Amino acid sequence: KKEEPLKVMISGAPASGKGTQCELIKNKFGLVHISAGDLLRAEIATGSENGKKAKEFMEKGMLVPDEIVVMMVKQRLMQPDVEQHGWLLDGYPRSFSQAMALENLEIRPDIFILLEVSDESLVERVVGRRLDPVTGKIYHLKYSPPENDEIASRLTQRFDDTEEKVKLRLKTHYQNVESVISIYESVLYKVNGNASKEEVFAEIDKGLMSVLENKRNLDPAS
Ligand code: AP5
């Protein structure tokens, strides 16, 4: 009997390293990475009404209304690859009501990872972040520079990655994070995100391995 796959939520302030760590987690554990922010940016790229509306909120550093976000994430969670490989939910839930939407479907994580990073580092990380539109890889001009000139010349910046906007995004984060944590207290796993990305991943890896171990021990058929 195949054991039930991992179900992971990852949360943290803007630029705390969620996307970077999700890449590493996905590579090792094979989970399906579902990023609320990426789903929204894909919707904006289609030019749809929902995309236009979402962009207005994202430009102000505010949460996009539930009627757009909740449906999007729920739909993605219902796909067969998620059931088979497990999920890694990044940037969702960001409010009490978003968490309750999952609770009502009995969708719960095995572990809720919270990346903790100081505000000064967050601003520096946002301002230096660059994205490769070809591979989707996340870079940082100082901490994760591109491998060669060809990649360097095609890097882009996100429309909400300015010092002014990150301050608004941070405020929104701090207004909501406690109410979300309160729902996942029993599976909360705090990680110091100020270290290098390898060190941060080592901590996360420890947490995920111990969850897997517990799942195996609890499953009488394994
Ligand atoms: P979203 O796209 O989720 O953005 P965010 O939460 O602000 O997070 P980021 O993607 O900016 O950062 P990250 O934590 O992934 O960091 P990264 O790994 O890139 O959301 C954007 C907007 O969409 C929101 O503001 C909101 O409007 C809307 N939205 C999204 N979800 C929503 C929801 N559920 N409900 C309503 N609205 C929603 O790293 C950042 C930089 O730091 C990179 O350059 C990286 O190379 C570098 N870095 C990473 N780790 C390290 C390290 N250890 N040391 C040094 N540098 C590092």
pLDDT in tens, the chain (222 residues): 567 899 999 999 999 999 999 999 999 999 999 999 999 999 999 999 999 999 999 999 999 999 999 999 999 999 999 999 999 999 999 999 999 999 999 999 999 999 999 999 999 999 999 999 999 999 999 999 999 999 999 999 999 999 999 999 999 999 999 999 999 999 999 999 999 999 999 999 999 999 999 988 887 665
pLDDT, position 3: 74
Q: What pLDDT score was predicted for residue 2?
A: 63
Answer yes or no: 18 catalytic.
Answer: yes
Tell me if 114 CB under 6 Å of ligand 1: no
What is the pLDDT at residue 222? 55
Structure tokens at 186: 């029993």
Crossing angle between the packed helical segments 163-184 and 96-103, to the nearest 10 degrees = 40
pLDDT of residue 211: 97
Q: How far is the CA of 1 from the centre of ligand 1 (A)?
A: 37
Residue type, 82: V
Alpha-carbon gap, residue 188 to 76, rounded angstroms = 24
Residue 14 Cα: closest atom of ligand 1: 7
The neighbour count for residue 31, using CB atoms within 10 Å, is: 21
Identify which of 100, 85, 121, 70 has the alpha carbon closest to the alpha carbon of residue 8: 85
* Cβ of 117 less than 6 Å from ligand 1: no
The answer to whether the CB of 194 is under 6 A from ligand 1 is no
Query: Would you say the CB of residue 165 lies under 6 angstroms from ligand 1?
Result: no
Summarised one tens digit per residue, pLDDT across range 164-185 is 999 999 999 999 999 999 999 9
**CA 221 to CA 140: how far, in whole Å?**
45
The minimum-distance atom of ligand 1 relative to the CA of 65 is 36
Residue 159 to residue 6: CA distance in whole angstroms: 33
Buried b (16+ CB within 10 A) or exposed e, 84-94: eebbbbbbbbb
Atom of ligand 1 nearest to the CA of 115: 14
Does the active-site annotation cover 129? yes
Q: Is the CB of 58 under 6 A from ligand 1?
A: yes
pLDDT of residue 218: 81
- How confident is the prediction for the chain on average, in pLDDT? 95
**Quick one: pLDDT at residue 1?**
52
